[in-house]
Structure 1
């Protein structure tokens, strides 16, 4: 999917090798995902969350993440209102948490952020490059307020365990964070080991929001491209895009690529007939009908992947959340069924819900061609 800021507008940390999680005393010194050493003086009670989607990740390590919030970015509520509504039902206090931005891609307003007097600020790595963030860091630095950067979007498979471990130490939840990090690492490493012993995989086209965006925004090295690389698949859009992480292909290019597998992403919006309907709260029959409808588009209907019944849909916001390993397993089954026919992403998600998630992920998050409607 496109770089996070532009994309959304259009719609341990280095904590050392994994080992037994040990509770640390305060203050704590951590290294964040940008390599910054940060001291957290006391257990946080007022967290400013610069990206709303990180609430989904906090909920994997803390049983009541909303109780810690002093403020939150507005992206989750704007672009995935179903997930936001689910959190509000489970944690009604979320309705009283100040929202610092009206939508996505907006810089955090310094005056409003400072007025909340947070004792910890959590930002996403994609937010680091802006001038507004640089000034915000200066202001919080003057006050002695710790700021850490996390990442489950720019390099998801590598940085998700590091981010979860960082959150665990920062929030005083080391044991649960370590358990999830190991859970994630074990599954990714098992997949990589099988791929290393196999040959090259099939040609795959991975696009964002078919049926909602004009044809066709394709993944490069990012936005699903990481999954294809990890699986040894051939990303047919690689080398054809203006941006490294992804970009637009013309209709003629798409038809000439002849992918053997097609994957598109989508988002559930009740009552909306556009695009793939996938995500929190999405009924299975609605998801299946949306895929069938999308695949009738001229740019997709004639693809070899579609004719062969190898077209699939995936919740767009697996990109940016720590449960991305579920998406990796689903894509692995689709792309290389000979290697990964035994994987069960539904069971993996169920285990995440049972062992880790303060709010279970409930809905239809992926769908395949021919699913019952």
Structure 2
């Protein structure tokens, strides 16, 4: 899927301090007070920080949720941010604005996407650290935006929860923790994340009883069927869990692409998963996410399953039709989406996974603004043991 038509929703450890800094002041560094320091971002760039950043520019406004994992008052750090959160998740934006009214005064430097980002506005807010998603710097280490920030003496770190989430989710949290002097908070979330992922990986390694075909269908009802996940991005989650993504061979990137309806019907995937957003209220769209209750989410999924062609898929009658919040792709909360996918793709192996409990723990222990609503839904309510 293209950016913001992505599905929502990492275990590589990266050393982000120079060894000399660690050995020189280990106790101070562990408390996040040792600056200057050098961190290594997900592109392998070494970024020198002369002092603990106090003025952040978030090129992707959606990542305020990520900042909220590390700092309970993320708005206090911002001097500029992307406008994508207000445009694409207005309910989440409104909740953050209520919690942190000063966000209304933070200058918007673009809509979050590369073609709307204003370098001039970003430089004008004089950040002491700029944070970009890897998808926002298509030129990589040679991207012109990075070079202009560097020329202005403004350090930039690159994070990634979208292009290569299995590799970069943990790495990105670690990079942010080191860059912001929030190592303890970063470690706490990484430990939580790794404990959940380790359980999934160990069971996958022990062997899976089936390799079902899967269609991850982004935003059904908004355009002709069917925008599918590719092999990268969210498609990595399907592969990890032993699913055979019917769009993987056709779209070998994180962006995905359009599948022909006849192809989908011919493939008749064993598992059908729609993605959606809370504000989608049109006929045959999936309304799921912030502020949506389970009954409304299930009703909207039932409407999706009435779309001509989709209605004929055998997954509907087999109880293997589901709905998922779209923006687990591109978020360190992707562990919740992975657990939901695991239950759907390998129900006998992961029946005991409880993403609701995981979300409750994330809300209690980590997030500055707790998640509210329904983020995954089954067409048929699961039977209770």
Q: Could you tell me the TM-score, scaled by structure 1's length?
A: 0.92
Deviation at 1:355, TM superposition (A): 0.5
- Distance in 2, Cα, partners of 1:258 & 1:312: 15
Corresponding residue SS for 1:100: strand
1:292-303 correspondence runs (5 A): 292-303=302-313
Match of 1:267 in 2: 277
2:159 counterpart residue number = 150
Give the equivalent residue in structure 1 for 2:3. 4
Q: Specify which structure has the bigger relative contact order, considering alpha-carbon pairs within 8 angstroms and separated by 6 or more residues.
A: 2
Name the CA distance, whole Å, in 1 between partners of 2:291 and 2:224.
26
Partner of 2:227: 217
Check whether the contact 2:230–2:252 (CA below 8 A) recurs between aligned residues: no
Match of 1:93 in 2: 102
Partner of 1:282: 292
Q: What is the aligned partner in structure 2 of residue 329 from structure 1?
A: 339
Task: Please point out which of 9, 29, 32 is paired with 2:41.
Answer: 32
1:354-365 alignment to 2 at 5 Å? 354-365=364-375
CA distance in 2, matches of 1:166, 1:38: 10
8 Å CA contact retained: 1:61, 1:168: yes
How much does 1:136 deviate?
A: 2.8
1:285-340 superposed Cα distances (whole Å, 9 cap, x missing partner): 21111100010111211111112121000000000010100110011111111100
Q: 1:112 to 1:204 in 2, by over 3 A?
A: same
Measure how far apart 1:105 and its partner are: 4.3
1:3-82 aligned at under 5 Å gives the runs 3-4=2-3, 7=5, 14-15=14-15, 22-24=30-32, 25-82=34-91
Kept in 2: contact 1:13–1:32 (CA 8 A): no
Take 1:238 and 1:138, find their aligned partners in 2: how far apart are those partners?
34
User: Contact 1:122–1:150 at 8 Å: present in 2 too?
Assistant: yes
Q: Which residue of 1 aligns with 2:201?
A: 192
Q: Distance in 2 between matches of 1:335 and 1:242?
A: 21
Determine whether 1:230 maps to 2:240: yes
* Whole-angstrom distance in 2 between the partners of 1:342 and 1:99: 43
Q: Unaligned stretches of 5+ in structure 1?
A: none
The number of equivalent residue pairs is 365
Alignment of 1:112-151 (within 5 A): 112-129=121-138, 134-151=143-160
CA RMSD of aligned residues (A): 2.3
**What SS does structure 2 have at the residue aligned with 1:255?**
helix
Separation of aligned partners in 2, 1:124 and 1:244: 14
- The CA deviation at 1:112 is 1.3
Deviation at residue 178 of structure 1 after TM alignment: 0.5
SS in 1 for 2:123: helix
C-alpha distance after superposition, 1:65-118 (max 9, x if no partner): 111001001111111111111110111111111011156443421221111110
Q: How much has 1:274 moved relative to structure 2? A: 5.1
Q: Indicate how the Cα distance of structure 1 residues 292 and 54 shifts in structure 2: closer, same or farther if over 3 A, else same.
A: same
Conservation of the 8 A alpha-carbon contact between 1:314 and 1:365: yes
- Kept in 1, the 8 Å contact 2:231–2:249? The answer is no
TM-score normalized with structure 2 length = 0.89
Deviation, structure 1 residue 42: 1.0
